[in-house]
Structure formats: C-alpha cells, structure tokens
Amino acid sequence: MPLTNRRILIVEDEYMLAQDLQLELEEAGAIVIGPEASVPSALSRIEQEDRIDAVILDVNLGGQFAFPVADALTARHIPFIFASGYEDDVVKSRYPDVVNCAKPFVARQLLHSLENVLP
Amino acid sequence: MPKIREMMKRQQVLADFGDFAIRSEDFDAVLAEACRLVAKALGTDRAKVLEIQEERQQLFVRAGVGWAKDVVGHVHLSMTEASSETYSINAGEPVVSQDITKEDRFIIPAFMKEAGVVALVNVPILVPGRRPYGVLQVDATGPRTFGDDEIQFLRTYATILGPVIDRLRKVDRLHASEERFRRIVETVQDYAIFTTDAEDRIDNWFPGAEAVFGWTADEAVGQLGSITFTPEDRAAGEDKQEIEIARRDGYAANIRWHLRKDERRIFIEGAVWALLDEGGTARGFVKVGQDVTQRKRAETALRESEERLRSAVEVGQLGLWDWNVITGEVHWSDEHFRMEGYDVGEVTPSYEAWSSRIHPEDRARTEAALHQAMERQEEFVHEFRVVHPDHSVHWLSGRGKFDHDAAGRPVRMVGAVVETTDRREWEERQQILVKELQHRTFNLMGMVRSMADATIRSSVDLKDFRTKFRDRIEALARAQRLLSQLRDDDRVTFGDLIQAELDAAGALDASRPRVTLEGPHDVPLRSGTVQTFAMALHELTTNAVKYGALSQPGAHLAVRWRVEDGANGEPWLHVDWRESGVTMPPDGQAPGGTGQGRTLIEKALPYQLQAETTYVMAADGIHCSIALPVSNRSPLESHDASHQSPDPYR
C-alpha cells in the first residue's frame, strides 16, 4: 500500500475528527505524527520532526488561518493537502495548486488525495 | 425830409423786429415777422427767407410775405443751379437785380417769373461763425432800383437776423430734444421715473411711475418722495438718508421694498441721482427704479426650493454632480466633496478630481463604464471604491445620465452618488457568516459521525445505542440552540450552559435539592469552545444521573466555579465538579459509561480547548476539575474582531 510506513502529520483542531483521521491512516498502514491542534504546536512539530512525508492540514485552527503552517511546509518541500469545512476563495487564491478535501471526509477520497501528493 | 423819414421808418422796423424777436421763441413766427417788416420798410409787397438745406443741396422757402401759400414752406430750389440766391450766398454779398428780364448772371426760378417779379435783392444771412444760414430776399413786381441806403439797411437787418435765427434754432433743437426725452420718459412703463426738488418734493411724475406706484401725476406731484417708502423704512429714516447720500455723492442706490398707493409692497431696484446746478448744489433729484417683485419672489422661491432640495440631499446623504462636458466645468454638492474625501470647496470639482480618488483597482473599470454610458447614451450605474487621504476605503454607488445635443454629442451629465460602505460591509459579513455556517455544519456532521462511531463502540446492543446516541444528539442540539440564540458578538455564559444541561437531566427539581451551583452566572465562553465543553458537561451529567450523585438519594453534586487570570493575563474559568455521598462500585470495577466522558475530559478538552483537566474517582464520587481560557469580553459587550479571524464564533 502506498501509505505504508509513510509518516503523515495531522493538523486538525477537532479532537474527534483528528482521532478518526488517525484511525483511518493507521488502518492504511501510515505512521501518524501528531495530531496537532494549533498553528504554534504544528509549527514546532514540523521543526522537530526529521521526516514528514505528507500533511493533512485543517484550514481553520482554533479561529486562525493555517497559512503560516502551509508556508512552512512549502518552504521545506513537504507535500500537504487542506482539509476544510468550506470552499474558500482566499485559500484557493493563495494556494491554487493545493488539493482541498471538503469535510466531512470520505475516507477513500482523502487517502487517495494524500497518496497523490506523496513524493 | 423824405430821406430822414425813411431812415426813421427803417430804424423803427429794426427796433420793432428786435423787440419781437426777444419776446418770441417761435422760429417761424419770427421769420414771418422779419419778412413782413422788411417788405413794409422797403415798400415792396414781397419778401422771403430761404434756408440752406445742406444735406439736400437745396434752398427752402422757409418764410415769406406776399407769396402764395404753395410757395412758402413748399418750394425748394436746387443750389446747383446758377440762381441769384445761390450766387449771393457764394459771394457773401448782397446781390441786386433791377430787372430780371435783363439778367444774365444767373437764372431766375420759374415760380418767381410766374409771380411777376421784376426786381429783387438778395442779402445772405450769416449766423455767428460766419456760417451762411440762407438768404433774405426782397422782391418787387415792378421795375425798382435799390439804393445804397436800402442795401445797407438790408445788410444791417440780415446781420441782426443771423444771431436771432441762431438763438431760435438752438431753442428749437433744445425743445426737440426735450420733447424727445419727454416722449421716451413717458413711453417707459416698466420703470418708475420721477423727479423731486431740492427738498425731495415730487415735481415730475411720469407715466412709468404711475404704472409702478399707482398714484397719478396729480396725486403725486407736491408730495414728498418718501411716500414710496415703507413705514418701517420711513421710521428708520431710510428715505432721508438716501436723499442725503445722493446730495453728497451725487448718487444713491435704491434697492428695497417700496409701498404702492394700494399699500401693496413691491421690490424696486433703482437709484437716485442729484440734479446739480452750476454751483454744484443739488437743485433736485431724479429717481429711476424697476419693479422686480416677480423676479424677487421667483428668486426667493428658487432659493427656498434649493434649500429644501439641499436638506433632502443632506438627509438622504446624497452626493450630486453636474458636469458640463463641453467646458469641463463640474459642480458638486457639499456631500459629494465629503464622499470623495475632500473638504467642501477644497478643490475645484473636475473629472480629474473625481477619478484621482477612485481606488486604483476600480479606476479603469469605472471610467470605462462612464464612457460607455456617454457613447451609447445609456444610464451610468456603477459601484466603485474611493480612497480618502487618510487611506480609508469607501464604497460609492453612482447613478447618472448624459444629455446629448441634436448631433448626439454629450453636453452635460447630472447624477447622484450614495455611500454603500456599510451595506457592503454587511454583505461581506453575511458572506463570512454563511461560510462559517457551512463550516460549522460540516464540522457538526463530522462530530455526529465520530460520536456515532464512539457510541457504537460503547453500546451493548441497538437499544443501548439508541438511548445513548439520542441523549448525545440532544446535548449537541442544546449547545447549538444556545449558540443560535446569540446575536452577533454575544457570548454563551457558563451559567447558561451548566443550567441547561442539569435542567435537561431533571436535576434542578427544587423539591429535591441535590445540586449546589456556586459561581458567577455571566462567565462568557468562547463560542468555539461551547460545543465540546457542552458535550463534556453532558457526559459528566449523564454519568451522575446513571451511576453517581444524581442516581442515589443520599448523594450530592456541587459545581463551583470562578474566573482567574491565567499566566498570560487572559481569563480562565475554573470549574470544580464534585460528587459526594455516592456509594461507589467495588474497587477495580469502573462504573459503566465513564469511558467516553472521561476521554472527552482528559483528552479532547486539553487537545481542542487548551484546557487543563483532572478526573478522579474518589471514594464517595467523581471529582473533576476543568480549567479553560474564556472570552475576555462581557457577554453583552459588542466588539467586532471577526475581521482578523476566519471564525467569528471563536
């Protein structure tokens, strides 16, 4: 399986959604890093980890845009996909090439999108 | 002494004429008398005065005696013909012809021959400056010699005649001029013209004055000029002051309300001039004025109408513009200046003054819309942003129309503009709210799914699942209801939340006081925390109802809370949930149903709300503490921070 032993960081502020994602990814064979619920904790996690293969990034983290996290990932060439509750023009205009998975996720689609961005 | 008598007679004639001429100002009468006297003096029947009419190169028989009616005042002689009269004028000397049949120096006019004239003498009449006036001609119907003394007499006579004629002609011209002036003054009906004497007593009252003021000349003459003033102005001495100014300066403006004979008020625009005598003293005054009451009323009406329009425009906060496309001149209402970020009158309104304030991103589109409206003769309807000097951005909605001439060229544009910034912001906020609603809906669906999964895992059968799941969905709905009842930036308070939860469980029955609630009611919660926090309280309550303090008669639940400032100065809510007097199951046997609630409190709250929690199963019941950051606003205080945050509910 493409996700086997891939190190995937989850950045999602809803505990239950984060738990679900973790479950799905682990069932697909991935190693889950996090989950992280806020911009600062996500940034420090990215800083600490030696290897992150891909990231699922919630756009809205406790009322803050996750753009600083997205920028940090772009700078490190770490692929990521957005998980967002809504279609946002701001997101689309700033990151036109990043896939945005609408909530609630269909697990298969999310995993498929994630596989596609993996290097 | 016939000679002496003759001389005496001629002297008498001269004296008589002089006497007559001094007393009369009637030119033709004086000339006729002159002819009569000279014919009498020389004993001829006929004499006449011929007047030069230069412009026509003619001599005109102006006066005469002994001549037929069709001659005097009728006959013209051409001065180009070689007549004796012209000859005399050109020579400047008397010309005598003893017998005209033998005359070869000049031609004798036909009417003279027909009248049987035989002899004649012409004496030129010169007015001062030696300019020729005409000829005095004495005719005889029989052969006649004219002696030197007679010629000398005639020369003397003509010499006297000259100045008399000159004076009379001047008087005549003056009369004609006065007549002309009087006719002009009397024809004027639109202007009141009248004169007063040095004491301002009316001495001439012309028809225009009667038409404007109503008094006839008979009624007005002799009255003071003040009768045309209103009583207030008379009381204030305006009438006297005006005359004194005119007396001093030669002129005074007279622009004020006046009184008519019928006491109706009329507005006169006019002036009064002093009529000065040779010494420079006012010997009277002439007053001229026009009745402009209609115009004045129209102006007042127009001004009032403009003021009404201005008020309407101000109340409606309308900016108006009027653009003369040909000259480039633009007029703005005061509000338009303000809308463009100018002080009123700060700039001369112009197309450039307008376009320079348009937001750079909107300028090209707005100007294109304007030019399209101009070229296609359409209405201009456009909404655009302007940037004020303080960098604030304002939305304006403009609507205007071009006028075109017959050739289809735009000549003028009139329009109105309103500021729509508030509406725009409201719309943007609406959009944010709609997006937020979508976001929350999807999150909620995710949460329901997770909750279903978790409930399935903890349920023994479908009946169990149904009870637990409905319970949780209802708790979720309660939290949503609290949130949905909020207006704008209101906050759900902890008091509301705990009461709603315990009330739903039937724990607040006053007849069974098993619950103590202690703490400030109005602790505002961050809206983003409400849902998860509510679910945690729900799990605690459900647990207490099923296995804890709310399930056993002797047990008690105390919920106490307080607010303290956290490490970084933001307020934290500390909740202490303590059950007591509960008979706990034997050691090692966890009470049923705690799994999910405990996970929520120990894991989800710290993860999601940065809460600090403890969960202890003490000997006589559950003891749980939850501390979490709360909103630092009062529940009703409205402060808009939503622009910094994608989520206005946080």
pLDDT digits (tens, 9 = 90+) for B307-361: 887 777 777 788 889 999 889 899 998 889 999 999 998 999 999 999 999 999 9
Domain count of chain B?
4
Q: A94: which chain B residues are within 8 Å (Cβ-Cβ)?
A: none
> Are residues B78 and B103 part of one domain?
yes
Average pLDDT over residues B448-466: 86
* pLDDT over 90 at B21, yes or no: no
> Are residues B464 and B594 part of one domain?
yes
Q: How close, in Å, is residue B638 to chain A by CA atoms?
A: 18
Is B428's Cβ below 8 Å from some Cβ in A? no
Taking alpha carbons only, the member of A16, A87, A22, A25 closest to residue B609 is: A16
| Domains, in order of start, for chain A | 7-117 (3.40.50.2300)
- Percentage of chain B modeled with pLDDT above 90: 28
Q: Looking at A66-75, B311-320, B455-464, B539-548, which range is the least confident one?
A: B311-320
Check if the beta carbon of residue B404 is closer than 8 Å to that of residue B410. Answer: yes
pLDDT of residue B641: 37
Is B585's Cβ below 8 Å from some Cβ in A? no
The answer to the question of residue B72 being in a domain is: yes
* CATH number of B55's domain: 3.30.450.40
> Are residues B205 and B168 part of one domain?
no
Q: What is the pLDDT of residues B37-92, one digit of tens each?
A: 888 888 888 899 999 887 768 889 989 998 888 888 888 888 877 777 887 888 88
Q: How close, in Å, is residue A14 to chain B by CA atoms?
A: 6
Is B610's Cβ below 8 Å from some Cβ in A? yes
Q: Which of B269, B297, B325 is the last residue of a domain?
A: B297
> Are residues B24 and B171 part of one domain?
yes
> Are residues B483 and B587 part of one domain?
yes
Q: What is the pLDDT of residues B114-128, one digit of tens each?
A: 888 888 898 999 888
Q: What is the pTM of this model?
A: 0.50
The answer to the question of residue B428 being in a domain is: no
Is B563's Cβ below 8 Å from some Cβ in A? no
Contact B440 A15 (CB under 8 A): no
Q: What is the pLDDT of residues B405-422, one digit of tens each?
A: 888 888 899 999 999 988
**Nearest residue of A to residue B436 by CA position?**
A86
Angle at B15 between CA B156 and CA B50, to 5 degrees: 50
- Higher per-residue pLDDT: B215 or A90: B215
> Are residues B253 and B335 part of one domain?
no
pLDDT of residue B645: 40
The answer to the question of residue B648 being in a domain is: no
B99, B147, B151 from B93: Cα distances, Å: 19, 15, 10
> Are residues B198 and B170 part of one domain?
no
* Distance in angstroms (rounded) separating the CA atoms of residues B35 and B48: 6
Average pLDDT over residues B172-192: 83
Residue B484 structure tokens: 């949905």
Q: How close, in Å, is residue B446 to chain A by CA atoms?
A: 5
pLDDT of residue A42: 92
* Distance in angstroms (rounded) separating the CA atoms of residues B542 and B546: 6
Q: Looking at B190-199, B345-354, B429-438, which range is the least confident one?
A: B429-438
* pLDDT over 50 at B526, yes or no: yes
* pLDDT over 80 at B455, yes or no: yes
Contact B532 A15 (CB under 8 A): yes
Average pLDDT over residues B156-160: 87
Q: What is the DSSP letter of B100?
A: G
Taking alpha carbons only, the member of B586, B510, B515, B519 closest to residue B551 is: B515
* CATH number of B352's domain: 3.30.450.20
* pLDDT over 70 at B567, yes or no: yes
Contact A86 B603 (CB under 8 A): no
Containing A101, the helix (H) or strand (E) segment is: strand A100-102
Range of the domain at B141: 2-178
Residue B560 structure tokens: 């106490």
* Distance in angstroms (rounded) separating the CA atoms of residues B174 and B27: 13
Comparing CB atoms, the residue among B449, B528, B608 nearest residue A15 is B608
Going by pLDDT thresholds of 50, 70 and 90, the confidence category of residue B240 is very high
Q: How close, in Å, is residue A118 to chain B by CA atoms?
A: 25
* pLDDT over 90 at B132, yes or no: no
pLDDT of residue A105: 65
* pLDDT over 80 at B511, yes or no: no
Comparing CB atoms, the residue among A13, A17, A60 nearest residue B450 is A17
Range B607-646 burial, b when 16+ CB lie within 10 A, else e: bbbbbebebebeeebbbbbbbbbbbebebeeeeeebeebb
> Are residues B256 and B214 part of one domain?
yes
The answer to the question of residue B138 being in a domain is: yes
For every residue of B477-533, DSSP letters joined together read HHHHHHHHT--TT---BHHHHHHHHHHHTTTT-TTS--EEEES-S--BPPHHHHHHH
Going by pLDDT thresholds of 50, 70 and 90, the confidence category of residue A98 is confident
The ipTM is: 0.87
pLDDT of residue A87: 63
> Are residues B471 and B598 part of one domain?
yes
> Are residues B462 and B345 part of one domain?
no
* Distance in angstroms (rounded) separating the CA atoms of residues B397 and B317: 12
* pLDDT over 60 at B457, yes or no: yes
Q: B641: which chain A residues are within 8 Å (Cβ-Cβ)?
A: none
pLDDT of residue B43: 84
Count CB neighbours of B78 within 10 A: 12
The answer to the question of residue B307 being in a domain is: no
Which residue type, as a one-letter code, is found at position B618?
A: A
Going by pLDDT thresholds of 50, 70 and 90, the confidence category of residue B646 is very low
Containing B5, the helix (H) or strand (E) segment is: helix B2-23
- Higher per-residue pLDDT: B590 or A117: A117
Residue in the block written with tokens 């903890």: B458
- In the predicted model, what is the mean pLDDT of chain B? 85
Q: B455: which chain A residues are within 8 Å (Cβ-Cβ)?
A: none
Average pLDDT over residues B241-246: 92
Is A103's Cβ below 8 Å from some Cβ in B? yes
Average pLDDT over residues B529-555: 87
> Are residues B501 and B449 part of one domain?
yes
pLDDT of residue A14: 84
Residue in the block written with tokens 């007042």: B300
Going by pLDDT thresholds of 50, 70 and 90, the confidence category of residue B149 is confident
The answer to the question of residue B424 being in a domain is: no
> Are residues B120 and B222 part of one domain?
no
Q: Which of B243, B264, B297 is the last residue of a domain?
A: B297
pLDDT of residue B642: 35
* pLDDT over 90 at B436, yes or no: no
* pLDDT over 90 at B549, yes or no: no
Helices first, then strands: H and E counts in chain B = 19, 21
- Percentage of chain B modeled with pLDDT above 70: 95
Paired strand residues for B193 = B288
Which residues of chain A from 32 to 71 reach within 8 Å of chain B, CB to CB? 35, 37-38, 59-60, 62-65
- Higher per-residue pLDDT: B251 or B512: B251
The answer to the question of residue B438 being in a domain is: no
Q: Looking at B38-47, B296-305, B479-488, B617-626, which range is the least confident one?
A: B479-488
Q: A45: which chain B residues are within 8 Å (Cβ-Cβ)?
A: none
- In the predicted model, what is the mean pLDDT of chain A? 85
* pLDDT over 50 at B644, yes or no: no
The answer to the question of residue B451 being in a domain is: yes
